[in-house]
Amino acid sequence: MLTLGINYSQMHDSAACLVRDGELLFAVAEERISRLKHD
């Protein structure tokens, strides 16, 4: 089973991750994509 986890908050940094059968496949914070601190 694939699970997409999304964390969106006005007070904290946003992030997303992809998990398959309990194993983390990919995780990224929004600031890594936008290249802006605390974006």
Asked whether residue 17 is assigned to any structural domain, the reply reads yes
Asked whether residue 8 is assigned to any structural domain, the reply reads yes
Q: Annotate 16-33 with DSSP letters as a single string.
A: EEEEETTEEEEEEEHHHH
pLDDT number for residue 39: 60
Asked whether residue 18 is assigned to any structural domain, the reply reads yes
pLDDT number for residue 28: 94
User: What is the rounded CA–CA span in Å between residue 7 and residue 4?
Assistant: 10
Asked whether residue 19 is assigned to any structural domain, the reply reads yes
Question: Is the confidence at residue 16, as pLDDT, over 80?
Answer: yes
> Is the whole model's pTM more than 0.85, yes or no?
no
How many domains, in total, are found in the chain?
1
Domain enclosing residue 12, as ranges: 2-34
